[in-house]
A and B are shown apart, each in its own frame.
Chain A
Amino acid sequence: MFETINIAKGVNVHVNETTQFKTINFSIKFKDKLTKEKASARSILANVLQHSNEVYPSHTALRMVLDDLYGTSLYIDSSKRGNEHVVTLNVETVNDQYLSEKGVLEKVLNLMYIVLFKPNFENGLFKESIFTREKHSIVQRIESVFDEKTRYAQQRMMELALPNHPASITSNGTIEIVENVTNEQLVAEYNEMISQNEIEIYAVGDVKPEMIASYIREFFHFKDREKAIAVPPMELVKPEQPRVLEFEDMKQGKLHMAFFTPITFRDEKFPIMQLMNGVFGGYAHSKLFVNIREKESMAYYVSSSFASQFGLMFVLAGIDSKLEEKAVTLVLEQLEEVKKGNISDIELDQTKALLVNQLKEALDSARGQIDIYDQYMELTDRFEPEYMINKWKNVTKEDIALVAKELSLEMTYFLSGKEDETNA
């Protein structure tokens, strides 16, 4: 899929030369350790760098040049994976063979260089008005989670269950830390990102690997950097309170449950755990959906998900606030079924078929190819879908029952409508 070219110590270019897409996609990923401080500063940094720069000193000027380049999309996002915080420059541009104009690709690469290396500095600091505005943007982004009650409930549960653990640190940091970041700190963070972070550069589209690598070598001048020492996953500590009930002004109750498992992404049982999650609650044929939605008519959504980086499994459901206890009982009953190995051949085959399908489908988008390749890099340097498909193939229901037995329910969080609320 990808051809990898090393251009400096700790800096790799991965290119998938393909005619599958009408566009060329780039991602430049800067990886660092995940802490609240890093996440806060780097979210601001991502916004400041995508706002404007030395050559295009206003947001309007930068957006105009992107429009002129046939609506090339360019954004920088701040995300996390396991113990890592990642700042990614994402760019997608039209392959100019579909256009009457040529030379778009070079212009886009040059623009990427400008965005990363020519920030909007004034006397050695980021332009103050932009710095202040973007800090505020990040604060607003963190605040807005409250409006989406499912996201908010999940975040509340994580804060309560695993405070100060990477699993509960959000990729945007915290309001308090964001507000206190100084311009000097942000410049230091920027310099560190450019010169010390490990960098993975991806390109997908009708481009030659050698051309991309030599362009970046010639213009971006990324220097050698030390490879970060892999930090082992932080231990999961039992929450002080196993059950929390909170209230907000809303109609539907949000049930969120967190289970711990010793199995993580790096574990050889990881593929079995993926199947366990699929049988239990990952799909429309899964036990949770069939029993809680279809048989009981209690929920519109009810599902489980496996956060393999941390060894966590979550169950989420939207239910009538009065039915919390019943829902928890039903979820645990279904988990018991899986632990006993009461899984039909059909359930197992369906789950395998859908996992395979999901993986292959994800590889039908350039972004999906980049994300999956980047994730599996630490397990295999030549990722192909067969790598996972072969691991799922021979898993039995007994294997699934065994990993299910290793799950422990550690937190039940319920966000309920106000008790005194009359259902209007």
Chain B
Amino acid sequence: MHKVEFEQLEETLFHEKLDNGLTVYILPKKGFSKTFATFTTKYGSIDNHFVPQGGSEPIKVPDGIAHFLEHKMFEKEEGDVFQEFSKQGAAANAFTSFTRTAYLFSATGEIDKNVKTLLDFVQSPYFTEKTVEKEKGIIAQEITMYDDQPDWRLYFGIIENMYKNHPVKIDIAGTVESIQDITAEHLYTCYNTFYHPSNMVLFIVGNVDPDQMMALVKEDQAQKTFEEPTEITRIYPEEPKEVAIKERVLEMSVQKPKVFYGIKPEKLDLIGPEMLKHELAAQLAYELLFGRTSDFYHHAYENDWIDESYSFDYSLEQGFGYALVGSDTHKPEVLIKEIKHTLQNAVEKWPFGQEDLDRVRRKKIGFFLRALNSPEYIANQFTNYAFNEMNLFDVVPVLEELEVVDLQNAFALVSHESQQSVFTIMPPKKDEQ
């Protein structure tokens, strides 16, 4: 077992790669009563085109299948796994993102049992035509619920605008129509391809003894048999540099318009330390341009072009990413123009110096230290970073080394006019009442 000490943060991380390929991380947290564990596969909604395990030809699977599979993992021949977790005093859950499916629990007791339950249920698939059919009504209601949420529609609207071919533009849950095509056989195909231990990470954080816990996981895995790990062939389409759609408007039952302005990054093949440096630098650049201390924010807020719903974000994965700036607004045209100007001005002349960098860097370090109080944040973020070959605990050292020119370079990759798009949700026109 490897042991890494992060002295400044007062954290110690234990990790090991097991014989079957599973990567296990354990982070003891002093003073906490709870333990939080995530068991995550590097398989999300974008992995819809791949060569199945044991096959030679690529196949395409229905939209929403990774999420459907996540739902069906909880049902076994002997009943619902939630029941078992509940008996052991654990709150269990799961989520599916573009790139990951995570199964998790948090508990303040019976940790060994709960870890066993987590490993067992994710490693013993049970799908029948009957249980698959039964789930369709539930997921249809979930999709319908999201369809009524303007903020979700806004988010997906802008992603659809930015991406022409990449499957990131497909809603994670699929559509009510697309999930009708899902069969038990499909689920087994996806499961057997992506749920091999070598494609998964187990992260346990909280009130645990690392030696004892690692031994428990090892023993559990040694008792189970798995196929030899093979390289997974995932196929993603060519994606043009520019955005697919410049502007779109959707009408919905809202009290005032909502705007999301999206900027598609130019370089989507970054990974590892380069990716971490770029992501942090771009986040700081966007913080300076659109954060609460920016000229943009000041003017937009005082003039009532934005309200408390205002947000901005920069996120990067392998193959896709986005910067987003948006708010509910009575003045969508003005807001869109102002965001455009702010980007344009920064492209023409980078307006920030060392003092600005120092300030937002301090803010970001503080945010990171605050986040380390949260076992959930550590487990989720660390896993996400690990799948991108980055280390969460490098964040502070990398931040400390950033220079003004790094921010400029990062911004240059996420600012070009042809990579900008806007999506607006408008209230129904008054005369149609």
Contacts and interface: CB of A to CB of B under 8 A. Distances in A.
Interface of A: 18-23, 58-60, 63-64, 66-73, 92-94, 98-99, 129, 133, 136-137, 140-141, 143-144, 146-149, 248-252, 283-285, 290, 293-294, 296-301, 318-320, 346, 349-351, 353-354, 356-358, 360-361, 363-366
B334 interface: no
Contact of B30 (A19, A69, A300): A19
A63 B356 CA distance: 13
- Classify chain B: how many residues form its interface, as a range: 35 or more
A318 B255 contact: no
B248 interface: no
A20 B29 CA distance: 8
Given A354-B86, A364-B32, A71 B367 contact: yes
Contacts of B137: 296-298
Interface string B98-140: 0000000011110000000000000000000000001111110
A353 B86 contact: yes
B156 to A, nearest CB: 15
A23 B373 contact: yes
A252 B9 contact: no
Nearest to B307: A140
A219 to B, nearest CB: 24
A291 to B, nearest CB: 12
A296 B365 CA distance: 49
Contacts of B150: 147
B166 to A, nearest CB: 25
A365 B374 contact: yes
A71 B147 contact: no
Given A147-B255, A284-B86, A353-B86, A59 B141 contact: no
Contacts of A69: 362, 366
B5 to A, nearest CB: 15
B164 interface: no
Contact of B9 (A98, A249, A297, A299): A98
Given A67-B359, A318-B144, A22 B369 contact: yes
Interface of B: 8-10, 30-34, 80, 82-83, 86-92, 106-109, 134-139, 141-142, 144-145, 147-151, 252-256, 258, 291-294, 297-298, 301-302, 304, 307-309, 328, 359-360, 362-367, 369-370, 372-375, 428
A275 B253 CA distance: 38
A129 B302 contact: yes
Contacts of B370: 22-23, 71, 73, 92, 94
A283 B328 contact: no
Of B90, B253, B291, B328, most A-chain CB atoms within 10 Å: B253
Nearest to B133: A297
A147 B292 contact: no
Q: Which label, helix, strand, loop or mixed, suits the secondary structure of the B interface?
A: mixed
Contacts of B86: 283-285, 350-351, 353-354
Contacts of A94: 365-366, 369-370
30 contacts: A18-B31, A20-B32, A23-B370, A60-B294, A63-B292, A66-B363, A68-B359, A71-B363, A71-B364, A73-B370, A129-B302, A140-B307, A143-B256, A146-B253, A146-B254, A252-B141, A252-B145, A284-B80, A285-B86, A297-B137, A297-B138, A298-B141, A300-B145, A301-B145, A320-B144, A350-B86, A357-B89, A357-B109, A360-B34, A365-B373
Interface centre among B106, B141, B254, B367 (most CB of A within 10 A): B141
Given A59-B292, A143-B255, A300-B145, A21 B373 contact: yes
Contacts of A98: 8-10, 369
Given A20-B30, A251-B147, A297 B89 contact: no
Contact of A144 (B8, B90, B309): B309
A96 B86 CA distance: 40
Given A23-B369, A59-B301, A293 B293 contact: no
Contact of A285 (B82, B294, B302, B366): B82
